[in-house]
């Protein structure tokens, strides 16, 4: 209809201008590699944002693993699961396990250059106790009677009840008492000090050259927040990040030659957690039937190409002192046995239930899908309901309104109690509503014993009860793959959820 040549010339002219501008802009985009070339810099991808810089209020596991490099407690865990003196240079524990006395390390300084004093220690511990009448930030701190300054070198922590495991709780960060705003003014004693952070973008820290212990190798460290886990491989191969912890086995296969993959474990108790108060899981036979129906090895094959470590109770293998490998065999896959148990429990034709699973954890979602297929073998239908992590915390964990869920439970400290306390019948964290008088007794015995080997034996008793009672369907400790550019070396795994960057060094050194 419309047809005129002059206009055609004008419009094509305009197009040409646009295209040239684009071309000019594009030619400016040379492939400048920003990260990695500087010899003492490393960029590390992390899956979630840092949710607050105050070490006492930080709760996200992803935040704690980063803050581990900035802050230290009186004692500090190492890669072998030992607690070493940090801000304290030594400690003594009284016979009755009630009085813990610490000696302040000589010459230790905060990142701002001021000396660490016994007042700072008292302040930091009391801040977690909630001395102003508020609730303690760490629930076990309600057992602290007082924190006393003995002299300007010594502090004693006095407990109400003797507890031989209490040292594991004293890893809380020591911060300066004079700091009025710990949430923005970040001062600790760790091998790295804080530089800056930007929500959803990055967290930057630099080596603390006056560190009391072995100084870090790499000078500048940037944690880059990777909100999109699918972009991780591209970012690693493209060079915008040098390291990423917890990549999946399929991502490992796609990495370029430039990367070394370190394999460890995530130190999680992954299980199909069953709400023991909900029908039909209030019947031990039903729970046992599910245990007989599933095959952990097959789950590992699907989810992470066979990597992972089978577990049979609420304990993972890194806690070598407590782990009982024989519990893996309490229930070996046996469909007939499972059907028999279901029939006894009154479900000869199986039943239908829902697995609620947090959508942000691919490995748990995948596990739920495999479980759902495996349970079809005994006539049980498992529907999967994905929910947001935040709804999971409130609905499943806090309100316990669920039938079953697949997640991994980690240990917040090096004490066995951090994994086992939640199964005590009236524990606030007992989200599976597990209820066993025998368990409560064994756990109480462990708490009341100061003899270490007897204590360990009681904890093992607890694990056996969980296994026999089929508290939940325990599956595995998930494998952890860490990709590190070959320019760097020295990644170490911890039995806790931390990333120790101070041990990473340039491969050429």
Inter-residue contact 99 to 88 (CB < 8 Å): no
**Candidate list 23, 152, 428, 452; residue touching other proteins; CB under 8 A:** 428
Query: Does 115 interact with other proteins (rule: CB under 8 A)?
Result: no
Nearest distance from C-beta of residue 201 to other proteins, angstroms: 4
CA distance 420 to 427: 10
Q: DSSP letters of 36-51? A: S-STTEEEEEESS---
Residue among 66, 72, 361 at smallest CA distance from 202: 66
Residue 114 beta carbon to other proteins: minimum distance, rounded to whole angstroms: 24
Site string for other proteins, 392-421 (x = CB under 8 A): -xxx-xx-------------x---------
User: Could you say whether residue 385 binds other proteins (CB under 8 A)?
Assistant: yes
Binding status of residue 11 toward other proteins by CB under 8 A: yes
**Residue 115: DSSP 8-state:** B
Please give the Cα distance from 14 to 275 (Å, whole number).
Answer: 67
75 binds other proteins (CB under 8 A): no
> Which residue of 80, 84, 178, 184 would you call a contact of other proteins, by CB under 8 A?
184
Binding status of residue 25 toward other proteins by CB under 8 A? yes
The reply to whether 390 sits near other proteins by the rule CB under 8 A is yes
By CB under 8 A, the residues from 123 to 162 that bind other proteins are 134-139
Residue 235 binds other proteins (CB under 8 A): yes
Contact between 307 and other proteins (CB under 8 A)?
no
335 binds other proteins (CB under 8 A): no
Tell me: does residue 266 bind other proteins (CB under 8 A). Answer: no
The per-residue DSSP string of 294-336 comes to --HHHHHHHHHTT-SEE-SSS--TTSTTT--GGGGGSS---HH
Q: Binding of other proteins at residue 183 (CB under 8 A)?
A: yes
Among 40, 41, 56, 57, binds other proteins (CB under 8 A): 57
Question: DSSP secondary-structure letter at 142?
Answer: G
CA dist 51 and 63 (Å) reads 6
Q: Across the strands, what pairs with 76?
A: 84
**Could you tell me if 472 and 273 are in contact, meaning their C-beta atoms sit under 8 angstroms apart?**
yes
Rule CB under 8 A: is residue 93 a binding residue for other proteins?
no
Q: Which is nearer to other proteins, 34 or 332 (CB)?
A: 34
CA distances from 322 to 82, 358, 452 (A): 14, 29, 12
Closest separation between CB of residue 454 and other proteins, Å? 27
CB 15 to other proteins: min, Å: 5
- Which helix (H) or strand (E) segment holds residue 264: the answer is strand 259-265
Q: What sign results for the dihedral spanned by CA atoms 402, 403, 407, 413?
A: positive
Binding test (CB under 8 A) with other proteins, winner from 42, 44, 46, 54: 54
Taking CA 189 as the corner, what is the angle to CA 187 and CA 191, rounded to the nearest 5 degrees? 110
Kindly tell me which of 233 and 272 has the beta carbon lying closer to other proteins.
233
* Stretch 187-216 residues interacting with other proteins (CB under 8 A): 198-202
Q: Scanning residues 448 to 507, which ones bind other proteins (CB under 8 A)? A: none
* Closest CB to other proteins among residues 54, 163: 54
Q: Does 31 bind other proteins (CB under 8 A)?
A: yes
Determine contact, residues 169/182, Cβ cutoff 8 Å. no
Q: How far is the CB of 483 from other proteins (least distance, A)?
A: 14
**Which one-letter DSSP state was computed for residue 169?**
G
Residue with tokens 């498992």: 382
């Amino acid at each position: 209809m419309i047809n005129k040549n002059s206009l055609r010339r004008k419009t094509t002219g305009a197009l040409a201008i646009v295209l040239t501008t684009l071309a000019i802009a594009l030619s400016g985009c040379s492939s400048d590699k920003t990260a990695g070339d500087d010899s003492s810099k490393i960029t590390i991808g992390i899956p979630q944002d840092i949710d607050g810089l105050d070490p006492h209020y930080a709760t996200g596991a992803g935040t704690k693993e980063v803050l581990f490099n900035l802050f230290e407690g009186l004692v500090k865990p190492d890669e072998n699961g030992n607690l070493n003196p940090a801000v304290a240079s030594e400690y003594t524990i009284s016979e009755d396990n009630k009085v813990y006395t610490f000696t302040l390390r000589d010459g230790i300084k905060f990142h701002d250059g001021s000396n660490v004093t016994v007042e700072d220690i008292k302040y930091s511990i009391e801040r977690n106790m909630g001395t102003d009448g508020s609730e303690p930030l760490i629930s076990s701190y309600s057992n602290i009677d007082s924190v006393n300054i003995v002299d300007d070198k010594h502090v004693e922590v006095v407990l109400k009840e003797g507890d031989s495991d209490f040292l594991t709780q004293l890893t809380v960060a020591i911060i300066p008492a004079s700091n009025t705003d710990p949430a923005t003014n970040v001062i600790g004693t760790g091998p790295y000090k804080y530089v800056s952070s930007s929500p959803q973008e990055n967290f930057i820290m630099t080596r603390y050259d006056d560190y009391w212990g072995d100084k870090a190798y790499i000078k500048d460290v940037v944690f880059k927040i990777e909100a999109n886990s699918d972009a991780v491989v591209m970012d690693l191969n493209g060079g915008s990040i040098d390291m990423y912890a917890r990549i999946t086995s399929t991502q490992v296969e796609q990495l370029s030659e430039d990367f070394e993959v370190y394999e460890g474990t995530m130190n999680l108790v992954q299980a199909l957690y069953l709400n023991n108060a909900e029908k039909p899981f209030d019947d031990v036979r039903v729970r046992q039937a599910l245990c007989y129906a599933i095959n952990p090895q097959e789950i590992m094959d699907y989810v992470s190409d066979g990597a992972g470590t089978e577990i049979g109770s609420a304990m993972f293998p890194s806690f070598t002192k407590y782990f009982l490998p024989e519990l893996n065999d309490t229930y070996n896959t046996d469909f007939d046995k499972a059907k028999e148990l279901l029939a006894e429990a009154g479900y000869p034709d199986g039943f239908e239930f829902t697995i609620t699973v947090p959508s942000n954890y691919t490995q748990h979602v995948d596990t739920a899908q495999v479980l759902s297929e495996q349970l079809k073998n005994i006539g049980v239908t498992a529907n999967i309901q994905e929910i947001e992590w935040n709804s999971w915390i409130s609905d499943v964990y806090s309100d316990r309104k669920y039938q079953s869920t697949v997640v991994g439970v980690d240990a917040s400290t090096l004490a066995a109690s951090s994994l086992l306390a939640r199964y005590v019948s009236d524990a606030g964290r007992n989200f599976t509503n597990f209820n066993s008088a025998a368990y409560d007794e064994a756990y109480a015995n462990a708490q009341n014993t100061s003899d270490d080997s007897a204590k360990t034996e009681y904890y093992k008793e607890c694990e056996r009860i969980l296994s026999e009672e089929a508290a939940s369907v325990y599956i595995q400790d998930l494998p952890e793959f860490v990709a590190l550019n070959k320019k760097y070396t020295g990644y170490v795994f911890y039995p806790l959820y931390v990333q120790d960057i101070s041990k990473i060094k340039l491969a050429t050194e």
